[in-house]
Structure formats: structure tokens, C-alpha cells
Chain A
């Protein structure tokens, strides 16, 4: 029986969305490749999670072990090496996430298995795969193929594939004994550290005025703050602004920051990397200001202004102040 295996990603008792996305896309690929779909779940006491996965796969490959309570690349590599070696799936799908990025490349190299990372498109022709991934921070897309024979491994970008509801699959239980022993690990999980709580909660704001790399210097931020104050908005930002320590991490919108849903989101000098868009796509209305008419942010906005932010924002601020003052 031919099989595609999706690795379920979960953290602290909750499945992560990329799992459903991979199962949905994996099922479609399995149908065109004449294969079935299995979902691998590694953990400790993950029965409830396994239950939720059942209707999405032909089988749930369950590996439970106390040593799998928290993700660790070393334990995951050992368990998945055994699973993949025994089951020989045509294709293994893993999220291109903080977890997948930490172990999938090592696992593929260990198994001498061709790997394509961060894919946003997958098409099957027989057992051959054609993949789409992005280069230059999303400015161009590339079609990529494998040069060697499968089985293959692909890491999948979060949010790249929609979840399509279909009739339930049998979800047969397959309990697999864990290969882990008490042998010491060279990498030991210690703890989680929560994000620091800041003075402002940007997830509660009705209007967010968000700045990106285009702001150029920290000295330019007060000008934006004045505009935000004039419209009763809260200041937020994309990653480069936090990396440069111009604003604290709790102001960051995006995958590694916060997911926000304001009524209005004004993106100023933000090009629109997918990690940023993932954090603000729930906004009611998006207004984007950018000098590059090809900036991806315009695809995620309802209103766009192609302009130099240093010229347009002061005019916006004066206009709002003038009109609100009346």
C-alpha cells in the first residue's frame, strides 16, 4: 500500500493549524498518486489530539512515550527514522515551522532522502512531484523538481494551503512502539519562556498604525506616533523594527509576534513578507502605504497608496487633525 505521511505538529496540548493544512493538501496528493494518507503523532498522553485527527486520515500512526512530552529534534529524529524506514512512505510532509525547521533537514540528510523546504505549491504527476517555493523574500516564485528517486520529504509553509472539508476517512489506530531508550541526549529541553507582557496590548486595538523597514531610522518613529495619536490608533510594527530594537517585541505583528484583528490596519513602509501578512490578515480594512507598487502588502490590502511615506504621512496627520478639530 502506497502512503503519504503527514507529521502532526502540536505544542502544549494543541494541534497547530499547519497540521490541518498538510492533511488537506496531503489527501489531495494521495488521491492523485493512488496512495493513502497517514498522520504520525508523537507525544505523551495525546489521545485527545489523536481523536481529532482520525477523520482526516486513513490511519493515525501513534507513538507515545514519556520522553516525547516536549518536542526535541533528537527524539523526533530517532522516532521518525524508524517510522519512515519501516513504512517507506512515498512522501513525508512536515511543517516549515519553528519545529520543522529545527529537525526536518537533519532527518532527511540522515535518511539520505531528497528534501524540498518551505513549499507553497505541490503538484503530483504519477509519483513525481513539482514544487513551488519562494526566493528573495517572496519577490519571485520558483518551480523546483527532485533530481533523485523518492521517497521524498517536503516541508510546507504555514497558511499556504487551504483546509478543504471532505467526508471522514477511517482513521484506523496504529500504535507503534517507541524506539527511544534512556540513553542520554546531547540536547535537553529545559522549559518554555512566555512572551514578555508589554504595557500596550496591540491585539485589543481598533486601529493599528504599523511601521516596517521603510521607516529607515528610529528618529522617524515619533512622526508616525503623532499620526497614530491623531486618529486614536496604536503603534505596531513588522519584524525588522523589533530586530533593530526600535520598538519592543510586544508591538510586533506576524508569525513570531502577535496576530491582530483591528477594524483598520494601516501598514506604512511594510513590504508584506508572508510572516507579517499571517499576523494581520484578520484585519477588517487594510490601508497600505509603500513606495514600491509591486510590494506584496498591496495584495493583502483593500486600499493602497504608492507614495513616499515621509511625504504622505505628515499630510495625513495634518488633515486628520484639521478635520477632527472641527
Chain B
């Protein structure tokens, strides 16, 4: 079972105070920590679980500058066999479609039975790349997978729907699956684990290695373009309860009595 996993290194913004950068087209990333995209952590874990059960190889792919090696090495430390970084200044400004196109050209050169990707990325949130990748490779797919079981030349998957419902499909391999968070418990990677793979070669491939033309990638190949970013408008918002913790607690108690029927 040869598995390819597509990953992305993203800034961690969930708990960060985010501000708009000078270009007006992206956030100010100075001072932010970066890590493997949350969805991709589940995708790589799922690939390694499959490899441990069925044998074969796991190859990790990422588009990005040298910084992305950090996330690729994390995947190697988790148990991936090979890592390839797709990098070229011409890739800058690529939208979801072009991102999938670049990945598809790299994957054509690798033997694969299964391709896994996160359902979406924490930063741009397109939720698009995995499904387009399947279309470009001409193979079946399923998005939002929260359970999977490989059976010979097929895979049985559960797709997460709204309201806790799931739908189950049987899909012929090779296929692309986009992985939803919560499908497994991604393993912890220690500093020692990262050190062990520090010397492992990470191949870097660019436009010419991938049979792509410069006009097919980056902004010139893209269908969409980001004009500007701005902070979301704040609604009426909440009445802020302020004061010492004890005073706040008294106010909360009054609200509970008033609105919640607290006896």
C-alpha cells in the first residue's frame, strides 16, 4: 500500500491576536508560531496507521519554501518514509485550483494506491485542493472522511455530514480522501524523534521538474485573486462584565437566576 499525503505548514492563529500586515493582503505573521495544519496532522497519522497495518510506504508532499521542511520533518518523525517539497517563486499567489495542479504533477511521478489530504487548511480554508486533485488525476474521491477501512482494492469510508449523521461509501482504489479532524489521535513527536530525521534528504522540485509552465502556476494560472483582507465587522456584541472576580461572579449568579430559572 503506497500512500501519498499532502500537507501544509500554517501559522497558528487559534489563540493569537491577529493583525493585518502592511501589504493589506495577508496577516502580520511576525511573532506567530507555525505548525502542521491541524487537518493534515490527522491525515498523516491515518497514513502511518495504514502503513503499520498493511505495509508499504508513506510519501509526504508540501508546497512551500524551506520553512516547510520543518513540517515535512515532523511527518518523517511520525513515520513517513519520504518527503518532497514543491517549491518555486513562480508558485506564489497560486489559488486552490493551481495548488491542486502542482500537487497532481508531482504525484504522477510517484506510485500510489491512496492519497490523503486534510479536508481544509487553517489559513485559507478553501476546502478544495483534495477534490480537485482527484479530478485532475482522474480517480475517485471522498471529502470529510472520519473513518476508513481498506479492503483489498477498495476502501470503505464514512463521510461526516451535518448533525452527527454519516454516509458510507465503497470506493475503488486508487482514490483521494480528504480527512476530517478527530478521525484518530495523532501521535506525539518528541524533539529526539525530530533529531533522528534531521539529516534525511528532502527533495525539492520546481516548475521545470514538474512539466509545468510558468504561466500555468502562481497568480497567472489562478482563477481567483485575493484583493484585500480586513477584520470582520463586529456586531452589537456582548455587555462586558467587569470588576473583581467576586463581583463578576455575583453578576453571573443574578443573570442565571433571571434568565435560567436558577432557584
Contacts and interface: CB of A to CB of B under 8 A. Distances in A.
Interface in B136-162: 136, 139-144, 156, 158-162
B100 interface: yes
Contact of B164 (A142, A258, A320): A258
A74 interface: yes
A70 B159 CA distance: 14
A242 to B, nearest CB: 6
A141 B231 contact: yes
B245 A315 contact: yes
A288 interface: yes
Interface string A111-138: 0001111100000000000100111111
Nearest to A304: B238
Contacts of A190: 156, 168-170
A96 B127 contact: yes
Interface stretch (B68-76, B83-91, B187-195, B255-263): B255-263
A109 B132 contact: yes
Interface string B225-257: 111111110111111110001101111110110
A123 B116 CA distance: 35
A244 B41 CA distance: 12
Contact of B169 (A139, A189, A256, A296): A189
Nearest to A147: B225
B219 A147 contact: yes
A184 B90 CA distance: 41
A305 B162 CA distance: 30
Contacts of A108: 97, 132
A284 B185 contact: no
B111 interface: no
A193 B166 contact: yes
Contact of B246 (A72, A104, A191, A315): A315
B129 to A, nearest CB: 8
B32 to A, nearest CB: 10
Nearest to B144: A98
B209 interface: no
Interface stretch (B48-56, B59-67, B117-125, B199-207): B117-125
Contact of A188 (B11, B136, B169, B234): B169
Interface string A252-275: 100111110001100000010000
Contacts, number: 285
Nearest to B139: A186
Interface residues of A, number: 103
Given A101-B144, A147-B219, A193 B167 contact: yes
Contact of A186 (B165, B172, B260): B172
B135 A299 contact: no
Interface string B89-102: 00000001100100
A80 interface: no
Given A231-B260, A299-B237, A303-B238, A137 B249 contact: no
B134 interface: yes
A256 B158 CA distance: 14
B128 interface: yes
Interface in A127-160: 130, 133-148
Nearest to B131: A105
A16 B122 CA distance: 26
A175 to B, nearest CB: 27
A106 B132 contact: yes
A11 interface: yes
A302 interface: yes
B2 interface: no
Contacts of B239: 302-304
A263 B131 contact: no
B230 A115 contact: no
Nearest to A299: B235
B166 A186 contact: no
Contacts of B172: 186-187
Contact of B256 (A188, A191, A231, A296): A231
B212 interface: no
A292 interface: yes
Given A144-B225, A264-B259, A257 B164 contact: yes
Contacts of B185: 244-245
A102 B262 contact: no
A250 B126 CA distance: 28
Contacts of B162: 16, 97-98, 255-256
A136 B141 contact: no
Contacts of B141: 73, 102, 106, 187
**Interchain residue pairs A-B with the least CB separation, the first 7:** A195-B164, A304-B238, A114-B223, A319-B249, A243-B182, A264-B260, A186-B140
17 contacts: A73-B131, A102-B141, A105-B96, A106-B135, A140-B229, A144-B224, A144-B227, A190-B156, A195-B166, A239-B181, A257-B163, A284-B259, A288-B238, A300-B235, A305-B240, A306-B240, A319-B246
Interface of A: 11, 16, 70-74, 96-99, 101-106, 108-110, 114-118, 130, 133-148, 186-196, 206-207, 213-214, 231-232, 239-240, 242-245, 249-250, 252, 255-259, 263-264, 271, 284-288, 292, 294, 296, 298-307, 311-312, 315-316, 318-320, 323-324
